[in-house]
Chain A
Amino acid sequence: MLDKLSLDGKTVIITGGGTGLGLAMVRALARAGANLAIAGRRQGPIDDAAAEVVALGRDAIAISTDVTDSTQVERLVTTTITHFGQVDVLINNAGAVQENVSKPLWDITDDEWHMVMNVNLTGPFYCSRAVSKPMSEQGHGKIVNVASGFGLRAGRDIYMYCCSKGGLIQLTRVLSFNLARYGVTANTIVPGFIPTSSTESDIRGTLPRSGDFLPIGKLGTPEDLGPIAVFLSSEASDYMTGEMFFADGGGLAAGLGPTGHAPLVALEP
């Protein structure tokens, strides 16, 4: 029953695969047997990630891609299919957090709004649209979207990030409902607070510095997402679609506030 957790011979496209959560997922996917098409804006990190995959004995290509440009996204998918012959899985992981992520509503410019919505929501839409035809024609495929706990809860002065990630969760549901008839599934990974170099430089003060405010008492690591990404990319998740898989240290089960709040109230007579 557990053989289905293998990705032997599967081709996975992952965006934002050169750094952070994406790189950790690339490593786990390759260890599970997958061949990878790694996309990212900057060539250096995705070349390094591809070299790691090849060192594990799998095949990998690095394709510099700006997911907000649909022409580049189409090229990503056609290049992948030309090289590997097929695409089995798409992981929409590329995301943007902008400088000063938390900003009063009245100071947010049109461009700032559109930039984050384009990367976090339009990008995954373009990528999903591009793979949906070949996946539907081959009768199987998996789309995995990487959202955020901020897609379900509000953050103080965090508008674009929350709205785009909420939209991504809803995109997953609509994709799942409509692509089910073609054998294509779509699910969301919902990470909680997981420090990466990107959050270190961009989100800064808006994220908790430690796990003190989380039920499990510690922050997550990018490696926590590895086995989840492999499961959602594998045949072991064939009957799962339109769903969310959380990795948040219990943050969403409680919320940051009630953690540590332990009332004692006797039963009323």
Chain B
Amino acid sequence: MPLLPEYDLSGKVAILATTGGDQAPHLALALSEAGALVFTIARRQSHLTAVLQALEGSSFANRGGVVADLATTQGTSLAMEAFDHHDSPVDILVNDVQSMFAKPFDEITMEEWDEVQSRNLKSTFLLTQAVGRRMVDKQYGRIVNLVSGLAERGMINTSAFSASQAGLLSLTRSLAVEWGRHNIRVNALGTGWTTAEDIPLEVQQEELLVRYTPLHRKGHPRDIAPLLVYLCSESCDYTTGQAVYVDGGLNAHP
């Protein structure tokens, strides 16, 4: 199978931060398969265990990980201290920050609103600042923020979550411009309706939203894995400040 060496991540060290959802193990596997050494920061032990089990099950060398609340400065410091046990620089940061929340706007409490913005947006701000400073020193870095297509479109009951995702997209644009001269590229990878479960097509298509998706199936983390690898690669040099959506055609849909 001829594969372009442009997609190779050998020798690169990646930090993968996840605040929820089920795609992190697949993202870690993709980065590892491309040759990167992955260090995982997870909000919950169960998220971290899932990632590490996937990597060890495929016998990929990895840098382990840590459980930390990245929405606090203490949590971020703790995570970076754990990363520093390996005494290596960082080349890649992947923020998988899609802790989902849906509720009628009228019923959302201030605490819920703050929690969604903290988990998804504030944690990205704090970790990207901590990791990004090192990238600026090194004059090299690739940052990818996983975002939902709800950053672009509205949906009933998703106001708080959508606002967090639009915030991430906007952060992506401005940071790309601010750090462009430091050889740091910042992009977003957008997804639509996804699941990491392998659900038969006929069962998926019983759902209205699946039939509404032009490609008539839900996305799977496998669908975004090769693109994530490219966006994390050195050859992704002229693309920055943009979102690339892999969403089964939802964004082009009426």
Contact = CB atoms under 8 A, between A and B. Distances in A.
Contacts of B222: 1
Most buried by A among B6, B34, B220: B6
A245 B3 CA distance: 20
B230 A217 contact: no
A215 B244 contact: no
Interface string B1-26: 11110110000000000000000001
A250 to B, nearest CB: 4
A242 interface: yes
A130 to B, nearest CB: 22
Contact of A243 (B173, B240, B247): B247
Interface in A60-106: none
A177 B3 CA distance: 30
A227 B1 CA distance: 16
B125 to A, nearest CB: 15
Nearest to B173: A253
A111 interface: no
A7 B30 CA distance: 19
Interface stretch (B78-86, B95-103, B176-184): B176-184
Contacts of A220: 238
Contacts of A203: none
B239 A228 contact: yes
Contacts of A4: 226
Contact of A246 (B30, B225, B239): B239
Contact of A239 (B1, B178, B230, B248): B248
A53 to B, nearest CB: 13
A68 to B, nearest CB: 26
B3 A242 contact: no
Given A5-B3, A8-B2, A250 B245 contact: no
Given A5-B226, A216-B181, A237-B227, A253 B1 contact: no
A107 interface: no
A109 B252 CA distance: 34
A192 B238 contact: yes
Contact of A2 (B7, B185, B246, B252): B7
Interface string A29-57: 00111000000000000000000000000
Contacts of B181: 215-217
Contact of B4 (A181, A185, A230, A246): A230
B2 to A, nearest CB: 4
A243 B251 contact: yes
Interface string B167-180: 00000111011101
A18 interface: no
Given A177-B214, A214-B180, A7 B2 contact: yes
Instruction: Please provide the 5 A-B residue pairs with the shortest distance between their CB atoms, ordered closest to farther.
Output: A242-B252, A253-B241, A215-B180, A236-B226, A180-B214
Interface of A: 1-8, 28, 31-33, 172-173, 176-177, 180-181, 185, 192, 194, 214-217, 220-221, 224, 226-228, 230-231, 234, 236-250, 252-254, 258-259, 262
